[in-house]
Amino acid sequence: MSIELKNSYGHIDISNEVIAITAGGAAIDCYGIVGMASKNQIKDGLTDILRKENFTRGIIVRQEEEALHIDMYIIVSYGTKISEVAHNVQSKVKYTLEQTIGVAADTVNIYVQGVRVVNP
């Protein structure tokens, strides 16, 4: 699926993969995030931290009529307040999608898949 935008210049299709990569890039920049986790824990293994080229494996973009929902699977840093990190990720992802793509996400659901100790 993709999102279709129409303006006076023509027609624009934005794929769900582009939305997932943009959301993943915004999430990784947040303090307290170690990386993205795979949404398929059993198949891929819980210990894998996804790299930039694999963000789409850790993010699900769903469209229901006019609503856009994003599910993100993340790994947080040990010693951070998980609720604050999740809230910051939600805010940054919503803001980044609105500013870069021009699409407003109705919900950004965060699933914390693990906690890691980050070596300095």
The residue ranges of every structural domain in the chain are: 2-116
CATH topology of domain 2-116: Alpha-Beta Plaits (3.30.70)
pTM, full prediction: 0.82
Predicted local confidence at residue 102, as pLDDT: 87
Q: What integer pLDDT is reported at residue 91 of this predicted model?
A: 96
Q: How many CA atoms lie within 13 A of 92 on its CB side?
A: 19
CA distance 41 to 63: 23
pLDDT digits (tens, 9 = 90+) for 21-60: 999 999 999 999 988 887 765 454 544 555 555 667 789 9
Of 26-30, 55-59, 64-68, 83-87, least confident by mean pLDDT is 55-59
Task: Give the bridge partners for 4, in sequence order.
Answer: 13
Instruction: Estimate the share of the chain in helix, then strand, then coil, as percent rounded to the nearest 5.
Output: 35, 40, 25
How do strand 10-15 and strand 59-64 relate by DSSP bridges?
Answer: unpaired
